[in-house]
Amino acid sequence: MNAQEIGKVIPWALLLLAAAFVPVVFSPYWLSMATTMAMFVVLATSWALFSGPTHYISLATAAFFGVGTFVTGLGFQTLPFWMLPLIAAALGGILAALVGMVTLRLSGVYFVIFTLGLAELVRQLVTWVQNQTGQRGMYVLTSITERDIYWMLLGLAALVYLAGWLIGRSKLGFALRIIGNDETVARHVGIDTALAKVALFTIPGMAAAAVGAILAPRYIYIEPSTAFAPLLSFQVVIMALLGGTGRLWGPLAGVIPFTLLWEFITRQAPNQTLLLLGIVFLLIVYVLPGGFVGLWARIRRRFHQGGGA
Amino acid sequence: MSRTVLEVQGVTKRFGGLVAVRDMRFDVTEHEVMGIIGPNGSGKSTMINMISGLFPPSEGSIRLKGAELAGLPAHKTARKGVGRTFQLVRLLPELSVVENVVAGAVFGHRRRWGKPAEAHARQLLERVGLGASIGLPISSLTYIDTKRVELARALAGDPEVLLLDEWLAGLNPTELATGIDLVRSLRDEGRTIILVEHVMDAIRSLCDRCVVMSSGAKIAEGTPAEVLSDAEVIRAYLGEDEDA
């Protein structure tokens, strides 16, 4: 790492440190908001690591997330809590690799539909197993507090940023950018495109499953219809696109305003949330096609042109 | 001492009931420019695409320095030393010109990464005559410059054999002269090149040998002067009464 890179890392480290003090400084209400934001930062950032460069829109977040919550639901009484996100991440990674091997040969819309169906498939499977065993939902009663959850998510977010930064500098990251531009060219310059895509697709899988495992105590009662709710997958896509996927900080810039907006919408118009979600999505596509990252790039370009001429 | 780099033996490609390439066989020796010519639809591009691994041949063998390429996917043929350009130029629009060329250097036959890869890419861009436009975005390159970038990318992995699929097509007369000089200079530095081409001037001045294809089969092989005076070749190009 050279001096310039250290200079870039320092503000991020300070931001992380400041974020760590949120539970100490702010009220429980704002801690709850911050926890939601931390959750979506992990989900949207890890989502964008894969979907940003490859342009494959994955709606599988809910599937991985749900698997994570069930890992905690089934294991919290017998295993130490710190092991659960690790197990969930391993399962999420394996599930993502399997799904990736089957679906990443599909392109565009087929991949989108398959990933959406995946969450439903896993949900139905879990429901079926529960029906067979006569079980319904599960209570997750732990001594884990909102603060603990927040700090764990913050740590996970730091890991995701670290992974993103390392991938961005790696051959894998470069390969993914080439694949996103032209897959035929990628193959002809020697990239094993299937392997590269599967390798990267495991990252959002692992992250989302770990998030699910960490958040399960917050829900107290978990059942398939809430754990695998497809809305989560759409929220993650919208936040990541609102922020923009071209830069590592993009999803963060989408998560913060969107979480606040969502809070406002659900309180003011609880029956119109989906309608408003749709409108926001349309606005992003039409007004902010590159998200805040694209907007920022446009502003900078204009500024540089103005200054140069 | 010349030795065989690429051997094509008994290669056939069927698309359903259509036989696009039938029992093709030819050798390419080191430091040679081999032309594949023939009328439209004669199977030239299909032949090139099988060598580069875009799709596998239905039958037959393609060997690069003794190693079998037939049936390997494109990323493996690239690693074994096949570099190519495309009939319709394919660049990576979101990447810079230099990154477009680095892309060819990182994963292929001879690999470079980081500063050496970038230095190699810049050197190749100078080599193909794109030094001046190196900082431009891909979208504002002229047509011949996009072809230059693609050529530099194909060269960046130091391929054993370079496939140029109508690389000279669509250039205006001035650009064509420049393009022919460029390909000739590549030959002079000892590269082995397979050229699919329609431009007769280019074939005459660049190719050491030519294979002529018609309706998927080889109908002649030899120096450009020989094959272009061959009665069957002339009939294949001009004979309206052969197939309508």
Rounded to two decimals, the ipTM of the complex is 0.91
**End position of a domain, from candidates B126, B158, B190:** B158
Task: Please list, in sequence order, all residues whose beta carbon lies within 8 angstroms of the beta carbon of residue B50, skipping any fewer than 6 positions away.
Answer: B11, B13, B21, B56, B57, B62, B70
Q: Are B183 and B168 in contact (CB under 8 A)?
A: yes
Lowest mean pLDDT among A77-81, A161-165, A200-204, B132-136: B132-136
Compute the distance between CA of residue A146 and CA of residue A36 in angstroms, rounded to an integer: 11
Q: Do A181 and B79 touch (CB under 8 A)?
A: no
Q: Do B90 and A182 touch (CB under 8 A)?
A: yes
Q: Are B167 and B214 found together in one domain?
A: yes
Contacts A–B by Cβ distance under 8 A? 67
Q: Are A105 and A194 in contact (CB under 8 A)?
A: yes
Q: Are B105 and B211 found together in one domain?
A: no
Q: Are B196 and B165 found together in one domain?
A: yes
Q: Is the pLDDT of residue B244 over 50?
A: no
Q: Are B27 and B105 found together in one domain?
A: no
Q: Do A177 and B73 touch (CB under 8 A)?
A: no
Q: Are B126 and B165 found together in one domain?
A: no
Taking the C-alpha atoms of A165, A166, A169 and A170 in order, what is their torsion angle to the nearest 10 degrees? -150
Number of compact structural domains in chain B:
2
Q: Are B133 and B176 in contact (CB under 8 A)?
A: no
* Partner residue opposite B92 with nearest CB, options A181, A192, A193: A181
Domain assignment of residue B106, given as a range: 93-158
Which three-class secondary structure state does DSSP give residue B193?
A: strand
Taking the C-alpha atoms of B98, B103, B104 and B109 in order, what is their torsion angle to the nearest 10 degrees? 140
Q: Are B30 and B56 found together in one domain?
A: yes
Q: Are B76 and B128 found together in one domain?
A: no
* Partner residue opposite B92 with nearest CB, options A171, A178, A187: A178
Q: Are B4 and B59 found together in one domain?
A: yes
* pLDDT of the residue at A307: 46
Residue carrying the six token digits 């997330």: A65
**End position of a domain, from candidates B135, B158, B181:** B158
In a domain, B178, yes or no: yes
> Is B74 in the A-facing interface, judged by CB distances under 8 Å?
yes
pLDDT digits (tens, 9 = 90+) for B102-152: 999 999 888 999 899 999 999 999 999 998 888 889 999 999 999 999 999
Q: Are B56 and B169 found together in one domain?
A: yes
Q: Is the pLDDT of residue A22 over 70?
A: yes
* Partner residue opposite A191 with nearest CB, options B75, B84, B113: B75
- The pTM of this model reads 0.86
* pLDDT of the residue at A1: 60
pLDDT digits (tens, 9 = 90+) for B74-86: 999 999 999 999 9
Task: Please list, in sequence order, all residues whose beta carbon lies within 8 angstroms of the beta carbon of residue A223, skipping any fewer than 6 positions away.
Answer: A136, A137, A138
Q: Are B140 and B170 found together in one domain?
A: no
Query: Distances in Å between the alpha carbon of A137 and those of A129, B51, B109?
Result: 12, 58, 55
Q: Are B231 and B165 found together in one domain?
A: yes
Q: Is the pLDDT of residue B36 over 60?
A: yes
DSSP secondary structure string, B137-163? -GGG--HHHHHHHHHHHHHTT--SEEE
Compute the distance between CA of residue B88 and CA of residue A142 in angstroms, rounded to an integer: 62
Q: Are B229 and B173 found together in one domain?
A: yes
> Is A187 in the B-facing interface, judged by CB distances under 8 Å?
yes
**End position of a domain, from candidates B158, B179, B196:** B158
